[in-house]
Structure 1
Amino acid sequence: MSELQEFAERMAALFTAAGFPRMAARVLMTLMLSTDAALTTDQLRERLGISSGAVSGAVKYLERLGMVRRRAHRGSRRELYELPEQAWYTSTLRQPPFYGEIAALLPDGLAIAEHAGATGPHERLAEMQDFFVFLRRRMPELYDEWRAQRADGPPASSTG
Structure 2
Amino acid sequence: MSDELQEYAERLAALFTVAGFPRMASRVLMTLMLSPDAALTAAELRDRLGISAAAVSGAITYLERLGMVRRRAHRGSRKELYELPESAWYTASLRQPPFYSEIAATLPDGIAAARSARAEGPLARLVEMQEFFEFMRVRMPELYEEWLASRRDQR
TM-score normalised to the size of structure 1? 0.92
1:126 matches 2:127:
yes
Matches within 5 A, 1:1-160: 2-153=3-154
Could you tell me whether the CA contact under 8 Å between 2:67 and 2:93 is conserved in 1? no
Residue pair 1:68, 1:87 contacting (<8 A) in 2 also: no
**In structure 1, C-alpha distance between the alignment counterparts of 2:123 and 2:89, rounded to whole Å:** 34
Structure 2 SS opposite 1:20: coil
- Shift of residue 86 of structure 1? 2.4
Identity among equivalent positions (%) equals 74
Deviation for aligned residue 1:53: 1.4
Structure 1 spans left out of the alignment, 5+ residues: 155-160
Mean Cα deviation higher: 47-56 or 87-96: 87-96
Query: Matched residues in 2 for 1:132 and 1:19: separation?
Result: 18
One-letter code of the match for 1:93? Answer: L
Distance (Å, rounded) in 2 between the aligned partners of 1:8 and 1:77:
28
| Cα RMSD after superposing both structures | 1.2
Look up the match of 1:158: none
Q: Distance in 2 between matches of 1:116 and 1:44?
A: 50
Assess if the C-alpha contact under 8 Å between 2:71 and 2:82 holds in 1: yes
Distance in 2 of aligned mates of 1:87 and 1:57: 21
AA partner of residue 143 (structure 2):
L
Tell me the amino acid that sits aligned with residue 152 of structure 2.
A
Q: In structure 2, what is the equivalent of residue 157 of structure 1?
A: none
